[in-house]
Amino acid sequence: MTPAKNAPGGAKGAPSAARRSEASRRAILTAAVELAGEVGYAKLGIEAIAARAGVGKQTIYRWWPSKGAVLLDAVLMLSGAEAGAGGGVADGAAEEGATGLPDTGDLEADLKAVLRATAAELADPAFDGVLRALTTEVINDPALADAYAERLQAPLHAMKRGRLVAAREAGQLAEDVDLDVAVDLIWGPLTNRWLQRGGPLTAEYADRVVETALRGLRPA
Amino acid sequence: MTPAKNAPGGAKGAPSAARRSEASRRAILTAAVELAGEVGYAKLGIEAIAARAGVGKQTIYRWWPSKGAVLLDAVLMLSGAEAGAGGGVADGAAEEGATGLPDTGDLEADLKAVLRATAAELADPAFDGVLRALTTEVINDPALADAYAERLQAPLHAMKRGRLVAAREAGQLAEDVDLDVAVDLIWGPLTNRWLQRGGPLTAEYADRVVETALRGLRPA
C-alpha cells in the first residue's frame, strides 16, 4: 500500500533507519488495531497505543495529528493486507492496485458473495473494533471525515460502482439507473445494521438486501 | 411523551416538588441538546450539561446512569415535540400515541415527503449535534444500543413498516417483498450519508433513493 503522507517513507538517513521507521509505523498501527478490539473506543488512547507498540508517544505525534488519523491508517493497512482475499468492506481500500470486485458475469451471485464477506468481516472482532473506533472519530471530526472520504470511501465506492458499470454493460442493470444511489442502496443497510447493532450480520440478511435492491419493491 | 423510567414522575412529596423535578429534567435535556449542537460530542460532559441546566451533577447522576442515557432521553423529548410536524427521522419516536407516516394513497409521493423532511432535519444543526452525539454513544455502548433499539428504533421501524403494509394492501408493493429489508433499503442510505458526511442531504438525493428503491436496479 502507499505510505501515508506523514509516514517515514521519505526519511533521511541510512536504509536501516528507514526500515526501523517502517517497522515502528507498522507496530503502531498493529497496536491500534489490537487495542481497539480489546478495550474499545472509549479507552483507546495514544499512550496505550505507544506502550503496546514499544515506542514513545512523541513518535506517534510526529507522524499523525490525532488518534483518528492513526485509526484511518490502521484500517488502510488492514485493507491492503486483505485486498487479495475477496470481498469485504475493507477490500480494495488500498489506494492503488486494488483488486476489483468479483465478476463472474452473474451480478446477483457476485454481490451476494461480496456482501456475505462484508457481513462476516464486520462480525469479526478483529475488524469490528478498529472500524467502530474509526467511524466514531469520522462522525465527530469533519477534517478526518474528508480524509476518510478521499482515502477509503472514494476508492471503495469507485470499485463498487465499477462492478455495476460492468453489469449495466452486460445488460443486467437498467440503463438509466443512478449507479451512485445504487451503491448506497446495496451497501447502506449492512453498514447501518452493523453500526447500530440493529440485527445479526448473517448471510441471509446479505442475500435478502441484494435480492430486494435488484428487483425493487413494486409488484412485477 | 412517557417519562423515562428513572425520571421524577413518581417522586414523593407535594405536587410542586414533582413539578420542580419535571422542570429540572426538561432543563437538563434541553441543555444536552443545546450543548451537543454548540460544542460537539468530544467536549460534551455531564458537568457542562449540569452547569447549563442550573442543577448539580448529582441531580443528573440520580436520574441517568450515563451521558448516553441523557442523550437518548433528549432525542426522545425532541421527537415527542416534533411528532405532529410531519415526517423526519425523529417523528413518531414518542413511545405512545405517535402519528403514523403520511398516507395519501401515493406511496412514492409520501416516502419522498418523509425522506425530504428527514434530510432537512439531519442538516439542521439543532438536530445534527444531539443525534450525532447519541449515535456515537450507541456505536460504542452495547447496553445503550439495546435501550436505543427498544425505545427509539423499534417504534420508528414499526411506523415505517406500517406505511409499507398499507401500501402492500393497496397493491403498491409486491406481495412477497421483505418489508423489514425494504425499510432498511429506503432509510439506510440517508442515514449513512449523514453520519459519514458522504454527500449533501438534498431533496434530490431523497427522491432518487425512493425512486431507485421502489423500481429496483434491473432492466424493466
**Per-residue DSSP letters for A34-80?**
HHHHHH-GGG--HHHHHHHHTS-HHHHHHH-SSHHHHHHHHHHHHHH
In a domain, A62, yes or no: no
| Cβ-proximal residues to B193 (8 Å cutoff; 6+ apart), any chain | A184, B199, B201, B205
pLDDT tens for each residue of chain B, 220 residues long: 444 444 454 445 567 888 889 999 999 999 999 999 999 888 899 999 999 999 999 999 999 999 999 999 999 999 874 443 333 444 433 333 345 899 999 999 999 999 999 999 999 988 999 999 999 999 999 999 999 999 999 999 999 999 999 999 999 999 999 999 999 999 999 999 999 998 999 999 999 999 999 999 988 7
CB atoms within 10 A of CB A142: 10
Amino acid at A74: A
Show the domain range for B123.
Answer: 67-215
In a domain, A73, yes or no: yes
Mean pLDDT of chain B: 86
**pTM of the predicted model as reported, rounded to 2 decimal places:** 0.84
Q: What was the ipTM of the complex prediction?
A: 0.83
Hey, is the C-beta of A181 within 8 angstroms of any chain B C-beta? yes
Amino acid at B133: A
Give CA–CA dist A74/A214, Å, rounded. Answer: 34
Contact A214 B214 (CB under 8 A): no
Q: Is A183 in contact with B181 (CB distance < 8 Å)? A: no
> How deeply is B43 buried, as exposed, middle or buried, from its count of CB atoms within 10 A (0-12, 13-18, 19+)?
exposed
| Residues from chain A contacting residue B219 (CB–CB below 8 Å) | 171-175
Summarised one tens digit per residue, pLDDT across range A120-167 is 999 998 899 999 999 999 999 999 999 999 999 999 999 999 999 999
Summarised one tens digit per residue, pLDDT across range A29-88 is 999 999 999 998 888 999 999 999 999 999 999 999 999 999 999 999 998 744 433 334
Hey, is the C-beta of B166 within 8 angstroms of any chain A C-beta? no
* Averaged pLDDT, A89-101: 47
CB atoms within 10 A of CB A180: 16
CB atoms within 10 A of CB B153: 17
Contact A178 B212 (CB under 8 A): yes
Hey, is the C-beta of A217 within 8 angstroms of any chain B C-beta? yes
Which among B171, B185, B205 is the nearest to A213, CB-wise?
A: B185
In a domain, B13, yes or no: no
Whichever domain contains B200, its CATH number is 1.10.357.10
Quote the number of domains for chain A.
1
In a domain, A180, yes or no: yes
| Cβ-proximal residues to A164 (8 Å cutoff; 6+ apart), any chain | A107, A173, A179, A182, A183, B217
In a domain, A102, yes or no: yes
Contact B217 A178 (CB under 8 A): no
In a domain, A16, yes or no: no
Q: Give the helix/strand (H/E) hosting B205.
A: helix B203-215
Which among A171, A181, A208 is the nearest to B178, CB-wise?
A: A208
The residue assigned the cell 458526511 is: B197
Summarised one tens digit per residue, pLDDT across range A146-156 is 999 999 999 99
Summarised one tens digit per residue, pLDDT across range B183-219 is 999 999 999 999 999 899 999 999 999 999 999 998 8
In a domain, B19, yes or no: no
Query: Which of A139, A165, A184, A217 should one mutate to test binding to chain B, selecting the residue with the greatest count of B CBs within 10 A?
Result: A217
